[in-house]
Amino acid sequence: MGATPFKLAIVAGEVSGDNLGADLISAVKRRLEKPVELVGVGGPAMIEQGLKSIFDFQELSIIGYSAVLSSLPRLAVRIRSTIAAIVAARPDVLVIIDSPAFTHRVAAAVRKRLPDLPIVNYVCPTVWAWKPERAQAMTAYVDHVLAVYPFEKDFLADLGGPPLTYVGHRLANDPSLLAIASEQAGRRHLVESGTVSGGEEKEKVCLILPGSRKGEVRALLPDLERCAEILASRTNNVRFVIPTLPRIADEIERQTKTWSTSPEVVLHSEAKNMALARADAAIAASGTVLLELALAGIPCVSIYRLDGVARLLINRVTAWTAALPNFIADYPVVNEYINESLRPGLIARRIERLIDNTAERNQMLRDFDLVRERMRTDRPSADLAAEVVCELVNGNIQGSA
């Protein structure tokens, strides 16, 4: 007779959460000497690990408060179906990943139906930036938090949140990103050693990263077009590359086909990695991509436009920055251009100073070295996360009282 399967309920609502979930599932399978049964919501990466998603998780890829409000009825239906499936499965543990508007509602309801079920929140909600009262409220339905940023432990403890373990970010140990960082470091060494001059390379590459959702892409591409035009007029032989995802590629190609700068849109992993390895600078929508650029060693700026409802709520934001490299370093590293300060000429001039071998570029690269050091963990983040999940189930790690 076979071993009793370990039943893992896991719910994610973003591409980044899907990747984290897939890594966690794989690590749990490696750690346990018995079958692992899955129930929950996820995308292609988690499905590849054996999850049969309760529904297509792309329905949760909503941007902006206005979009969330208009989608509430559909969201409520999906929450109910997810709760029902998890309760019926009677899992050993529930792991919720990011997307708190969805995952935390699921967790709170499951806690009422299955009060003894351990619940883990993978990716701490941004209580350090928005609605800090959420930290204490989480203790009612979250037993342990897995943090991906080193500064979050003190924040959550000070705010009375659940116990937390820093497991690190998957990007910090991502093999492809480590290879890109190594290639960027090699190029940097050639310049610093005087083997080549900062301006010796015939072509400069500027990445344009307008976000992963159609709403933010539509909001930012007009500004990015003007940024590219101004930068091209001020910098000799600059090439623009837009790495993106298949689900928004059509939107980007449609909007950029008339650009005078003729940006190259790249989709496949190999082409995207090559673009990152050759990039001299980047203009990026605020988000996790800024951390990716910092870890890769690519100087960048951050841009964003808030929607109408978010503008009304901006005064409730308690964070001094929205850029993750700034939070991790604990001082300004990446310049941010939001709403009225998002001026293409200003951004183009900043990129002009970052794309060549300047004091500003070299200082940012040194700052990125600090970010990389602070993000380091002794083991891959998924292995650390799997250890906490399994030990919590076994009663060997503290949960919420």
Phi, psi of 263 (to 5 degrees): -65, 150
Predicted TM-score of the model (pTM)? 0.85
Among candidate residues 219, 345, 336, the one with its CA nearest the CA of residue 287? 336
- For CATH 3.40.50.2000, list the domain ranges present in the chain: 6-168+377-393, 174-375
Burial of 143 (0-12, 13-18, 19+ CB in 10 A): buried
User: What six digits make up the tokens of 386?
Assistant: 């799997």
Whole-number CA gyration radius for the chain: 22
- Give the model's pLDDT for residue 399: 65
Low-confidence ranges of the chain (pLDDT < 50): 63-66, 200, 312-313, 401
Q: Which two tokens stand for residue 233?
A: 């007029």
**Contact criterion met (CB below 8 Å) for 383 and 32:** no
Residue 71 is predicted with a pLDDT of: 66
- Closest by alpha carbon to 74, among 55, 95, 87, 89? 55
- Amino acid at position 82, single letter: T
Spell out the residues 6+ positions from residue 395 whose beta carbon is closer than 8 angstroms to its own. Answer: none
Asked whether the beta carbons of 230 and 345 are under 8 A apart, the reply is: yes
- Output the pLDDT for position 356: 94
CATH number of this structure's domain 174-375: 3.40.50.2000
**Distance separating alpha carbons of residues 241 and 274, to the nearest angstrom:** 11
Instruction: Measure the CA–CA gap between 22 and 146, rounded to whole angstroms.
Output: 15
Name the DSSP class of 321.
Answer: -
CA distances to 29, 96, 296 from 300, in Å: 38, 31, 11
Structure letter (DSSP) for residue 145: E
Among candidate residues 340, 233, 239, 223, the one with its CA nearest the CA of residue 285: 223
Tokens 């008339």 sit on residue: 258
Q: What is the CATH number of domain 6-168+377-393?
A: 3.40.50.2000
